[in-house]
């Protein structure tokens, strides 16, 4: 079983293969499931969308952002489409994690997708969304206990370094 550090490092390495224009080992473009992958990038209008991840203890938050037309917000089920995008991103992360580490990654969805749409003009809108996933193999108590001990030792060492703004080994006189 992998440690928390190994799981986080594997997800981080999987994220390095997710940039726009990335190619796999065979020279083929990486398919994540985003709208920017559709069409020909040389002659079609570029679609601005992307994703990121954040770690919250034993949970992973996948964030998605896109610039879309206002008619797309009112003309379709925008929450369902964005939820599907985030699901595609989660499956991409699982697949890349498996390639990198040789182990499987368990991401269990927690709650609904949260979508925020803001208009930037009468035609375009900017959409941000996030969804939480529980990472399998990471215990919440393990994450909290390990981080608090390490911070206390570093803080204690910092306090031992000086007094009145100087290091204890400083022999300089005023």
Domain spans, the chain: 4-160
Contact 29, 92 (CB under 8 A): no
The reply to whether the predicted model has a pTM over 0.75 is no
**Nearest Cα residue to 117 out of 108, 106, 127:** 127
| pLDDT, tens digit (0-9, with 9 covering 90-100), for 106-148 | 889 998 999 998 888 888 888 899 999 999 887 766 555 555 5
In degrees, rounded to 5, the angle at the alpha carbon of residue 7 between the alpha carbons of residues 6 and 11 is 115
**In angstroms, rounded to a whole number, what is the distance separating the alpha carbons of residues 107 and 114?**
17
Q: Can you read off the two tokens belonging to residue 47?
A: 């679609």
Q: What percent of the chain has pLDDT over 90?
A: 14
User: Is beta strand 107-119 parallel, antiparallel or unpaired with respect to 59-69?
Assistant: unpaired
């Amino acid at each position: 079983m992998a440690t928390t550090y190994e799981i986080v490092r594997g997800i981080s390495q999987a994220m390095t293969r997710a940039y726009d224009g990335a190619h796999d080992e065979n020279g083929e473009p990486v398919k994540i499931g985003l709208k920017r992958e559709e069409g020909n990038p040389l002659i079609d209008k570029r679609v601005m969308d992307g994703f990121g991840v954040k770690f919250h203890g034993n949970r992973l938050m996948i964030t998605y952002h896109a610039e879309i037309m206002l008619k797309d917000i009112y003309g379709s089920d925008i929450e369902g489409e964005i939820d599907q995008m985030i699901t595609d991103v989660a499956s991409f992360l699982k697949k890349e994690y498996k390639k990198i580490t040789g182990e499987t990654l368990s991401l269990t969805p927690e709650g609904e997708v949260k979508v925020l749409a803001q208009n930037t003009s009468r035609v375009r809108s900017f959409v941000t969304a996030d969804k939480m996933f529980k990472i399998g193999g990471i215990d919440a108590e393990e994450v909290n206990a390990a981080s608090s001990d390490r911070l206390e030792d570093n803080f204690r060492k910092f306090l031992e370094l000086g007094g009145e703004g100087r290091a204890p080994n400083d022999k300089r006189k005023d």
